[in-house]
Structure 1
Amino acid sequence: MADTKKVLLHEDWAVVVLGFAIIALFLLGLVVPVPSFSWSSAEDLTQKVFTAGNLMKIGAQFIVVFVFATAGAWLTNKPLKSSLLVFPVVFLLTVVALIIAGNKGVKDLNLEAVIFSLTIGLIIGNVFNLPAGFREALSTELFVKIGLVLLGTSVIFSDILKAGGLGLVQALVVVLSVWYFAFWLCKKLKVDDELSMMISSAVSICGVSAAIATAGAIKGDTKKLSYVISLVLITAIPMMIVMPYIAKHYGFSEEVTGAWLGGSIDTTGAVVASGTLVGETALKISTIVKFSQNVLLGLAAFAISIYWTYAGKATPDAAEKQKPTLNVIWERFPKFVIGFVAASLLFSFFLSAEKVSAVKDGMKSIQTLWFVLAFTSIGLETKFSDLINSNTQRPLYAFLGAQLFNILVTLVLAYVLFG
């Protein structure tokens, strides 16, 4: 019997559809009250956060994100029953993170909810042996990409044109120089070709997405891909927390900091989290710069597939299946970027200032919630043992060496272009 389960929409298209469905509901008059998580004492918790009215607001947000998370699971053929059971758990942990981040003392330290959601997820994901079905039902990429489409509503299109042009220049220099250095370092450390390609792309372009695209282009070993993804996720955690504080310590401007974060941190979600720690301008610049790198993903996958095929690395069968054509660029292109730009165009040119103002707070709150949900999920699905159980430490050394080079090169370019 033929398998009738099919992915109705690729995840990137699904997030565009879901993101714009949320935007449409808000524009049509949906009002999702913004709950309060601010408190300074135990008494405040009971009188401000745990009141019946505020809990109803939290419940209203839960209904909205639950409906859209379930729709996303259905569209992308995630296990629907598991998703229905797992999502409330993720949401509950996310609310705990939001409450912790709402404490006055924590706010004074400039610690955001994404840090606490990530930490809570990491503790639970590594201390407890979560069922495989639980991890499979997590929708990290879906959550963060919906949040990014919604982020487009707060980014004026003129900013994209201005920062995006500089970001594209930075991305071209970073991708070419870092990719070459990473590949050279991998060969020096005698890392095999498949792993070298995946590591080089992950460090230089956009982390997990680049590793996956490269593995697809070269028909790479999925175990090696899993190892590279683990490296990306685990190294992104300290980078996204430490780099904003280094920038503040040395007095970098938000523009320079955003360009530095967006160009050097490997995952889009971690870029968003670190940019949030610095400020609104840094968040916008870091996101735009990261998008500039994401745009190069299709071109990179195309170039890699050509190299892999014509250098004789691919088997005859693989070469037949992966003929390098212009379609590869479109297949690898991150479609959610289209959603981000379209949302920005809509809110920049087609809506009145009054309409934008009316939906601004509700949209911002839901956007933030998607990001925090994503980082709860990242923590739950990340296993530190993935690195410990590796057969060799050489890929780890290559990755870390290339990442250090990436951080330094990107900082210099950020100062030159955005200083």
Structure 2
Amino acid sequence: MPSSKTFSISEDWVVVILGLGIIFLALFGMGISKPSFSWMSNAELVEKVLSVKNLSAIAIQFFVVFVTAIIGAILLGKNVKTLLSVLPAVYVLTLLALILAGNAVVKEYNLEAVIFSLGIGLLISNFFRLPQWFKDALSTELYVKIGLVLLGTTVIFGNILKAGSLGLIQALVVVISVWYFAFWICKKLKIDKEMSLMLSSAVSICGVSAAIATSGAIKGDSKKLSYVISLVLITAIPMMIFMPYIAEWLGLSQEVTGAWLGGSIDTTGAVVASGSLVGEEALEISTIVKFSQNVLLGIAAFAISIYWTYTKSVNDEIQQEKPTLKIIWDRFPKFVIGFVFASLLFSFAVSSETNALVKDSLKSLQGLWFALAFTSIGLETNFKDLFGQENKKPLYAFLIAQTFNVIVTLVVALILFK
């Protein structure tokens, strides 16, 4: 007797359901307060971060994440029992990372929470033997992709007009030229295509978010993603500190300096910090240019998804037939649909007043999902996997591409903003 078909939902569709579910709950008035992790002294840590009000906001945020993860496990047919003990442990470690990243001194160096999440996870996984059932309960991809769907709420197409034509032109020129150059360098150094795509996107578009979005689009290896993000965060620090002084030495105007900083430094936080060192006008221009690049993230993620699913379909076909649209659709990462839908929703359907009410809580949740993912990646990874000898070529490619990025962005900024 033939077996009957069982109904199943792929992880990407589950991510779309969960991500959009969180968004609509926020839009329909479910209050998810944004906790604060900013502190300078031990006294501020106790008074602000560990206050009853802030701990209540942290508890509510955890409840939302916990329930979402349980629903995800049920829909995917995973073991809920182990999740009930593993996720709280991962959350506590992530909470520690968020508190460390909230310190005023740490913020000055633009060390983001994800690097602390990854570091804490790596320390534990390398000095303690974690049971296999614990590792099996880690849902790294689920956390990353939910964060990406929420990230779509911050990519507002309507704000392209605010970014200005010059900022958008620079973003297009820099992103396209730097992306292709980085990809070409990776090819010359014989780096695998998966790493090449993540590295190229990180250098050319907007650093951490672009690397995460690309990894999600191509179902990339989490260890490779960790390596690329580590490179982004580490190189952003000296660029943030020294580029304003180099600009002053070159005699650049505030407009050109701002455009140069915004187009070449990979993280938004580092751009703001660096622009602030120069002046108000440089800060404004640098933010506009970086925002223009961020807007292109959704388009880039969609294009990379199409490219990757098509090429994978071609490579996987035994016969020399062109892959059908059905094959491409089956392999297309559906979370991108959730990302684009959220972006379109907040660009054209959600009022600016409503957006102002929910954007902070959704952005905080997005950051939390990413931080949870990187704690999980750290718990799954050994130092030798992250910084092994085989990773020297991606390091060289990143540094070469970043140098090219700095030079090209400077030339474009001089042409457009002088």
- The interval holding the TM-score normalised by the smaller chain is 0.7 to 0.9
Aligned pairs for 1:129-148 (under 5 A) are 129-148=129-148
CA distance 1:53–1:197, change in 2 (3 Å): closer
- Say whether residues 1:183 and 2:176 are aligned partners: no
TM superposition shift of 1:127: 1.9
Distance 1:211 1:357 in 2: 30
- Say whether residues 1:405 and 2:400 are aligned partners: yes
Partner residue in 1 for 2:361: 362
Name the SS of the counterpart of 2:189 in structure 1.
helix
Residues 308-363 of structure 1: per-residue CA shift (max 9 Å, x gap): 5xxxxx7xxx5149853444554554433333332233223223333222223322
Distance 2:184 2:7 in 1: 38
Letter in 2 for 1:362: S
Name the SS of the counterpart of 1:34 in structure 2.
coil
* Worse-matched range after superposition: 203-212 or 286-295: 203-212
TM superposition shift of 1:108: 4.5
- Say whether residues 1:396 and 2:397 are aligned partners: no
* Worse-matched range after superposition: 71-80 or 361-370: 71-80
CA distance 1:134–1:287, change in 2 (3 Å): farther
> Does the aligned pair in 2 maintain the 1:244–1:277 contact within 8 Å?
yes
TM superposition shift of 1:67: 1.0
Partner residue in 2 for 1:72: 72
Partner residue in 2 for 1:352: 351
CA distance 1:257–1:338, change in 2 (3 Å): farther
Residues 229-253 of structure 1: per-residue CA shift (max 9 Å, x gap): 5344224313323225414420386
Distance 2:386 2:360 in 1: 41
Partner residue in 2 for 1:102: 102
- Say whether residues 1:377 and 2:376 are aligned partners: yes
Distance 2:69 2:217 in 1: 24
Partner residue in 1 for 2:85: 85
Partner residue in 1 for 2:207: none
Partner residue in 1 for 2:336: 337
- Say whether residues 1:46 and 2:41 are aligned partners: no
TM superposition shift of 1:302: 5.7
Name the SS of the counterpart of 1:319 in structure 2.
coil
Residues 89-117 of structure 1: per-residue CA shift (max 9 Å, x gap): 11111211222233344344444333322
> Does the aligned pair in 2 maintain the 1:305–1:322 contact within 8 Å?
no
Name the SS of the counterpart of 1:250 in structure 2.
helix
Partner residue in 2 for 1:268: none
Partner residue in 2 for 1:295: 302
Partner residue in 2 for 1:238: 231
> Does the aligned pair in 1 maintain the 2:146–2:369 contact within 8 Å?
yes
TM-score, L = length of structure 2: 0.73
CA distance 1:26–1:212, change in 2 (3 Å): closer
Residues 9-49 of structure 1: per-residue CA shift (max 9 Å, x gap): 332x3322222111111121111233333334334333333
Distance 2:321 2:135 in 1: 31
* Worse-matched range after superposition: 160-169 or 87-96: 160-169
CA distance 1:172–1:331, change in 2 (3 Å): farther
Distance 1:40 1:201 in 2: 38
CA distance 1:282–1:125, change in 2 (3 Å): farther
Residues 246-274 of structure 1: per-residue CA shift (max 9 Å, x gap): 14420386665555466xxxxxxxxxxx3
Distance 2:110 2:216 in 1: 34
Percentage of identical aligned residues: 40
Distance 2:380 2:289 in 1: 28
Partner residue in 1 for 2:127: 127
Question: Any unmatched runs of 5+ in structure 2?
Answer: 202-209, 248-256, 273-286
Letter in 2 for 1:239: V
TM superposition shift of 1:170: 4.8
* Worse-matched range after superposition: 195-204 or 289-298: 195-204
Aligned pairs for 1:51-66 (under 5 A) are 51-66=51-66
Letter in 1 for 2:349: F
Distance 1:76 1:416 in 2: 50
Distance 1:147 1:213 in 2: 13
- Say whether residues 1:33 and 2:33 are aligned partners: yes
* Worse-matched range after superposition: 163-172 or 61-70: 163-172
Distance 1:156 1:178 in 2: 27
Distance 1:256 1:80 in 2: 49
Distance 1:259 1:400 in 2: 21
TM-score, L = length of structure 1: 0.73
CA distance 1:328–1:176, change in 2 (3 Å): farther
Letter in 1 for 2:143: F
> Does the aligned pair in 2 maintain the 1:35–1:54 contact within 8 Å?
yes
> Does the aligned pair in 1 maintain the 2:211–2:228 contact within 8 Å?
no
Partner residue in 2 for 1:117: 117
Question: Any unmatched runs of 5+ in structure 1?
Answer: 187-194, 217-224, 263-273, 309-313
Letter in 1 for 2:116: F
Distance 1:78 1:283 in 2: 40
